[in-house]
Amino acid sequence: MNGYNFAYLDEQTKRMIRRALLKAVAIPGYQVPFGGREMPMPYGWGTGGVQVTASILGADDILKVIDQGADDTTNAVSIRHFFQRVAGVETTTATTAADVIQTRHRIPETPLRAGQILVFQVPIPEPLRFIEPSEQETRLMHALEEYGVMHVKLYEDIARYGHIATTYAYPVKVDERYVMDPSPIPKFDNPKLDGNPALMLFGAGREKRLYAIPPYTRVESLDFEDHPFEIQRWEHACALCGSDHSYLDEVITDDQGGRMFVCSDTDYCQSRRGEVA
């Protein structure tokens, strides 16, 4: 496209972001500051993820973009169109076909393979922020592994609700060192972070932080001995594909209170239906 460098960002900026990403990969779970650029979309629309994707995208890469698991929601569609225009790359909705997948709030149900890169859009990168407003102090707490307050939060959940009520952005410990916010994915997806063959990159545009989970890294969800980490479960199977092991969304179907549960991952659901048919 005329007037723009490949993938919108200039090469200097991409190099800067790639250097930060290398550092992030080298120190799994550590938040690396980077010189975030203004993007032609508002904060909250994935500017962090878009910059990461722009920096790593090659001309031959096939891109998939999902929002809440779906390829056809506004955010996913607009970001996909953005890269089609500024990079001219091929796009796909098939998880297996994609080289780079930018995501908001989900990890695809189809297991990722080595060589794939998953780029997360992150609103608040700092897992300690809820208890400590000072950035200087949270950085020190990370440096010194002072993570007792993370369990204070989980304790509070159990005290209040009888179980750990945190259901998304559930904190993890990466490579037995850094406590990390996995972005607002459902805790259902947390086990997929652990030992995943794909590279996972996280970009926070507003806060200008990058972090990463390299392939096959140990990622543990924080918990208590007597209240171990558990993922969500549903009494229903997907009303469309019959899956009894995927993350389900509740969909209202009419004005009479009719509703059904369907896979949040549209590509997964569709491919299952294709197989069944």
Partner 1 sequence: MKKPVLERPVLLDVQGITRLYGPAKGCEAIDFQLHAGEVLGIVGESGSGKSTLLRVLAGLEAPDAGRVVYRRSSGEPEAARSDVHEPDTARRGGTQALGGDPQANAEAELDLYAIGEARRRALLRLEWGLVHQNPRDGLRMGVSAGANIGERLMAQGQRHYGQLRATGQAWMGQVELDPGRIDDAPRTFSGGMQQRLQIARTLVTRPRLVFMDEPTGGLDVSVQARLLDMLRTLVRSLGLSVVLVTHDLAVARLLAHRLMVMRRGQVVETGLTDQILDDPQHEYTQLLVSSVLTP
3-62 residues in contact with partner 1 (CB under 8 A) are none
152-171 residues in contact with partner 1 (CB under 8 A) are 152-153, 155-156, 158-160
Q: How buried is residue 125: exposed, middle or buried, by Cβ count under 10 Å (0-12/13-18/19+)?
A: buried
Of 29, 36, 48, 49, the catalytic one is 29
Among 140, 165, 251, 252, binds partner 1 (CB under 8 A): 140
For the question of residue 263 being annotated catalytic, the response is: yes
For the question of residue 269 being annotated catalytic, the response is: yes
- Residue 129 near partner 1 by CB under 8 A: no
For the question of residue 49 being annotated catalytic, the response is: no
Among 3, 136, 148, 254, binds partner 1 (CB under 8 A): 148
- Residue 194 near partner 1 by CB under 8 A: no
Copy the structure tokens of residue 9.
């960002």
Q: How far is the CB of 166 from partner 1 (least distance, A)?
A: 14
Among 2, 60, 136, 226, binds partner 1 (CB under 8 A): 226
Q: How far is the CB of 170 from partner 1 (least distance, A)?
A: 16
CA-wise closest residue to 38 among 54, 22, 25, 23: 54
C-alpha to C-alpha distance for 231 and 185, rounded to whole angstroms: 12
Nearer to partner 1, 37 or 153 (CB): 153
Question: How would you label 19-34 residue by residue, b for 16+ Cβ within 10 Å and e otherwise?
Answer: ebbebbbebbbbbbeb
Nearer to partner 1, 1 or 143 (CB): 143
C-alpha to C-alpha distance for 251 and 47, rounded to whole angstroms: 29
CA-wise closest residue to 205 among 54, 22, 4, 23: 54
Whose tokens are 């590279």? That residue is 199
Q: Rule CB under 8 A: which residues touch partner 1?
A: 131, 140, 143-149, 151-153, 155-156, 158-160, 176-177, 223-227
